[in-house]
Amino acid sequence: MSDPVPLLNVQIDGVWHQFPKGTRVIEACAQAGKFVPRYCYHPKLSSPGNCRMCLIEMGMPRMGPDRKPELGPDGKPVINWMPRPQISCAQDVAEGMGVRTDSPLVQDCRHGVMEFLLINHPLDCPICDQAGECELQEFSVQYGTGGSRFREEKVKKPKHVHLGPRVTLDDERCILCSRCIRFMKEVAHDDVLGFASRGSHSYLTAHPGRVLDSNYSLNTVDICPVGALTSSDFRFKMRVWFLKETKSICTSCATGCNTLIGSRQNVLYRQTPRENDDVNSAWMCDYGRLNFHFVNSTDRLIEPQIRQLSNPETTSWTAAVSRAAEDLKRFQPTEIAVIASGRMTNEELWFAKKLVDSVKTPNYDIVSRTGPADDLLLNSIRNPNTKGAQLLGLCSDQPGAKLQQIADGVSQGHIKAVVALQEDLTAAGFKAADLERLGALIVMDILPNETTKRATALLPSASFAEKRGSMINVKGRLQRLNRAIQSPGNAREDWEILRDLIQQLTGANGVYLIEDVFKQMAENVPQFQGLSLSKIGDLGVQLEGAVSAAPVTVSA
């Protein structure tokens, strides 16, 4: 272990505090409850000190002839204040440092910077997507002055520029803070953005012949403090103040980036990254971020169905679940297969395993799902909860290893009943014609596909945004999903459907709260011992001894 970081004494607005060595002045002020406004500063990026919004007064202890700090009547060092204001974003605290965050000089500096930032700004807040979460608006209210003295023509700059396939730029709104440039260079390692021209005519642009097409491009929209960079997917769709923000995680790969889901009236509008230094810092990839539109699809499965001969018919949940249970009871254990999914939550997988155990089949696995990885966040394992499936016994260290054998069993007619949970079997090595011949095909899913078409019992379930539950990411971190919206129609949460099916099969009493499902797991799974859904918290919990995974690629 390294030596403990020494604590330094710093006076902020007359009160002495202690901060670990290495703390940025701007962060120290915030920790002391003295927030210093800033535009260019971002804790995850380098500090260019260009916006000048974080100017403060700073001083160091006055040294006596003995080269020791002179002490005042309070026994504390007397501070020699620098005549000029200093930026607080690029310096670390020092022993005996003094800071004034709200002096007349500091207020004057902020008035000045706010005025400068607004003189050439279009002030088109009514049609700007950033309105409501715009730091120009917020700091104007808090630190600016009401009126303007600017009587001149504003500088004209490029508008609705397609910087890349997913990002739209309005250069007139840009305050030239360079956060996006630094993000692309320092985090995304794709140094594609820069400023052109100079002075007040400076504008943001992509390098000639290049476009902002990185898989991380939308993070620039998140960190843009104003409405200059907007998401081409989200812009003009919804005023942000109407959005309900739900803390959740991204389910598009095994990294499990922490997210905020923005929804209104049961419609998903956007996903944005939520800071978690143990998982995704403050970022997420565009692929994961935009992989939610299927939730809003009008094709969603909304009614349980059973199939008589070749005609599917809508029915009640009771009838559908009963039909599924009765179908399963007709077969021997070895004639049944259960295909679960690495997209399922731990709670769902827990019930899926109970289902496997209650029908006593040896034929079960999950579908492996992989893709190219990058060196930032995107993991090659595209299932969000492979670790959970391994831990809860739905698959081996090699997820999907048994799939081909099961598919062959279906082809050869040994396996006569299949339960498909959130997976389209035709994309996992099963032939559609084989599925037609099955005695029972019980399918739980959210959108129609070649498997749902052939289901004898179709059980419409909930998308990631419509349910609570937990998942374990590739590094063994247990994290929570939260419900942002209600499921459409009569679709139900997956764990409830499975519980009812098991009840029908075994007659056992079920549980009725998802908290109790987790409690059951915590009593039975050593890695979950002592945990509860609420104890997972917003940032998740690192599990001890979580299983390691080597994915098996499915040739679909």
Q: Which stretch binds another protein (CB under 8 A): 195-203, 247-255, 319-327, 533-541?
A: 195-203
Return the bridge partners of 443, or none: 420, 458
Half-sphere exposure of 5 (CA within 13 A, CB side): 9
- Asked whether position 552 contacts another protein by CB under 8 A, the answer is no
For another protein, the closer of residues 67 and 149 by Cβ is: 149
- Asked whether position 197 contacts another protein by CB under 8 A, the answer is yes
Which of 72, 156, 160, 195 forms a contact with another protein (CB under 8 A)? 195
For another protein, the closer of residues 16 and 143 by Cβ is: 143
CB 167 within 8 A of CB 221: yes
CB 149 within 8 A of CB 199: no
- Asked whether position 529 contacts another protein by CB under 8 A, the answer is no
CB 61 within 8 A of CB 96: yes
SS3 349: helix
Residue type for position 399: P
Which of 116, 237, 374, 490 forms a contact with another protein (CB under 8 A)? 116
Give the separation between CA 399 and CA 466, rounded to whole angstroms: 26
User: 414: closest CA among 325, 322, 334?
Assistant: 334
Return the bridge partners of 276, or none: 281
- Asked whether position 134 contacts another protein by CB under 8 A, the answer is no
- Decide the pairing of beta strands 457-460 and 305-308: antiparallel
- Asked whether position 394 contacts another protein by CB under 8 A, the answer is no
Q: How near is the Cβ of 104 to another protein at its closest, in Å?
A: 13
- Asked whether position 132 contacts another protein by CB under 8 A, the answer is no
- Asked whether position 198 contacts another protein by CB under 8 A, the answer is yes
- Asked whether position 53 contacts another protein by CB under 8 A, the answer is yes
What residues have CB less than 8 Å from 139, skipping those under 6 apart?
A: 37, 39, 53, 110, 114
SS3 182: helix
Q: How near is the Cβ of 184 to another protein at its closest, in Å?
A: 15
- Asked whether position 60 contacts another protein by CB under 8 A, the answer is no
By CB under 8 A, what part of segment 28-47 binds another protein?
Answer: 47
Q: Each residue of 216-251: b (16+ CB within 10 Å) or e?
A: bbbbbbbbbbbbbbbbbbbbeebebeebeebbbbbb
Q: How near is the Cβ of 47 to another protein at its closest, in Å?
A: 8
Which of 118, 319, 427, 522 forms a contact with another protein (CB under 8 A)? 118
Applying CB under 8 A, what is the total number of residues that bind another protein? 45
Which of 30, 76, 112, 302 forms a contact with another protein (CB under 8 A)? 112
CB 272 within 8 A of CB 234: no
Give the separation between CA 351 and CA 536, rounded to whole angstroms: 20
Q: How near is the Cβ of 95 to another protein at its closest, in Å?
A: 16
For another protein, the closer of residues 48 and 448 by Cβ is: 48
By CB under 8 A, what part of segment 201-230 binds another protein?
Answer: 201-202
- Asked whether position 55 contacts another protein by CB under 8 A, the answer is yes
User: 349: closest CA among 102, 133, 95, 525?
Assistant: 525
- Asked whether position 81 contacts another protein by CB under 8 A, the answer is no
For another protein, the closer of residues 105 and 539 by Cβ is: 105
Return the bridge partners of 229, or none: 169
* First-residue to last-residue Cα distance in the chain: 49
Give the separation between CA 358 and CA 325, rounded to whole angstroms: 11
Q: How near is the Cβ of 118 to another protein at its closest, in Å?
A: 7
The footprint of another protein (CB under 8 A) covers 47-53, 55, 83-85, 87, 90-91, 108-109, 111-113, 115-120, 123, 147-155, 175-176, 194-195, 197-202
